[in-house]
Amino acid sequence: MASSMSAATASKTFGSNATFSGDVKEAIAFKKTVVSTKRSMREMIITNVATRPPVSMPVTESGQPETKLAAWTSVRQEKWEGELVVEGEIPIWLKWSRLWHIGDYNFRHLFDGYATLVGLHFENGKLKAGHRQIESEAYKAAKNNKKLCYREFSEAPKAENFLSYLGDLASLFSGASLTDNANTGVIKLGDGRVVCLTETIKGSIEINPHTLETIGKFEYTDTYSGIIHSAHPIVTESEFLTLLPDLIKPGYVVVRMEPGENERKVIGRVDCRGGPSPGWVHSFPVTEHYIIVPEMPLRYCAQNLLKAEPTPLYKFQWHPESKAFMHVMCKATGNIVASVEVPLFVTFHFINAYEDKDEDGRVTGIIADCCEHNANTTILDMLKLQNLRSFNGDDVLADARVGRFTIPFDGSPMGKLEAALDPNEHGKGMDITDMLNACGAERPCNFPNTLTKIDLVNKTAKNWYDEGAVPSEPFFVPRPGATEEDDGAVISMISDKNDEGYALLLDGSSFEEIARAKFPYGLPYGLHGCWVPMK
């Protein structure tokens, strides 16, 4: 039995920066990065084993080598694969198999990098790695034209004249001018297909988890005419669930897709209780019987979407007067069983949710955990590449916590939001990928820089930290036959000092290092991925 994991990052750029995602094939990791278009194709394809391509290290005015963090730079070539030298021992059961500039144009935000897949292939204690650019229409157009051609997260093509501007507006409303750069996440569908996603519906791209090659667009066969969806659907062996924000009649349509199908079927709809538009839904939680729809006061903004230059909150606006809500929908009927007001919140990622029950086994409410930024929208501005690249030692990372929502089923109009554990346990920094593992903070910093294992029962956290390094969001791979939830390996790709990087394996239980394997060069920061079992 072989298995693979894939991950995606959320940055797009033209220039010297990149992002990545991770997948394990016998283990494979996918990462999104950016490559310079000024190199020939022959220069951009290298295959070797445990070697490093020649690198000329920049020097400072004093003649000393200039340290460089690869996390915020573009991947240096479009494609690479090779075997890595391992320090330590890779468990024999472990098997799985961005680009921030184009031409002379440089993206400005972490979420704007063209997607690259990074694969880690574990087999018989050996590790092979590779990366490859996702062939989206946005990437190919930018590469061929040496300029931005589609609307990205924070960027829009410059109109040549007023008529072209009007044409761009028309294509915007139809979704034609929106990016298909699938740089946010990688999912494995119940039928085995592997799809990369972003928040535009057109940005759903199927890939080959063995070769990392782009297969083509994942086409939905239903007649839904929306242009955006949640970047993080809930995917199991039996279903695919996602939210489709309705920008015209503010609300959310909840849909389901079965394995082997491309048709989304409506479960139900939630109308917004606030306004003037639906809140951003980057992710959402579910339980066995319920779908939880968050309504955040950070709301989509049509006016900002129309603008060519980035606004302070990009495609969104902060509307605290519209309040914040959590809605609970029954999976089976589509009925709303609870809708409560909660304290204002800002979150990208939900962690987990479960049904709270009384002594008789009756569901009395929902508990939902997320990475919450204390209702502080400045986290978006902190993710500008300029801010990430210019860290001078000051502690500027916005505080974050594991926020716990309590949603009662007794008809109460109000729910709760409080910290699930002391934020000091993880340095008041948090970005989560699963129920156990996250990225925390070792202060001072300007970005989450630790790997963190959280224990919400004992209210503690364990942290791994390597000074000067930036870890990608970790992936947990359970050991075959495991009976404990943390029995397995935690995998992260590390962007290290001096333009270097390595793959890191931690023991899931002790959180101690098992092994590491050095990449031939540093890779850009990477976000979400998934474990893809391979037979």
Determine how many CB atoms are found less than 10 A away from the CB of residue 303: 9
Q: What DSSP state is assigned to residue 473? A: P
Asked if residues 192 and 210 have their Cβ atoms less than 8 Å apart, the reply is no
Hey, how many other C-beta atoms are within 10 angstroms of the C-beta on 160? 9
The response to whether 131 counts as a known ligand-binding position is no
**Residue of 240, 183, 191 whose CA lies nearest to 214:** 183
DSSP letter, residue 71: G
- The one-letter amino acid code at 506 reads L
CB 267 within 8 A of CB 334: yes
341 contact partners, CB below 8 Å, separation of at least 6? 273, 323, 324, 325, 413, 414, 415
Residues 6+ apart with CB under 8 A from 75: 18, 20, 33, 34, 35, 98, 99, 116, 131, 523, 524
Cross-strand pairs, 245 = 252
- Residue 121 marked in a binding site: no
Going by the DSSP 8-state scheme, the letter that residue 117 receives in this structure is E
For residue 349, say whether it is annotated as part of any ligand binding site: yes
Query: What sign does the CA torsion over 324, 438, 71, 179 have?
Result: negative
Whether 426 has a binding-site annotation, put simply, is: no
- Tell how many helices (H) and how many strands (E) occur in the chain: 5, 38
Binding positions are 232, 282, 349, 528
Binding positions for Fe cation are 232, 282, 349, 528
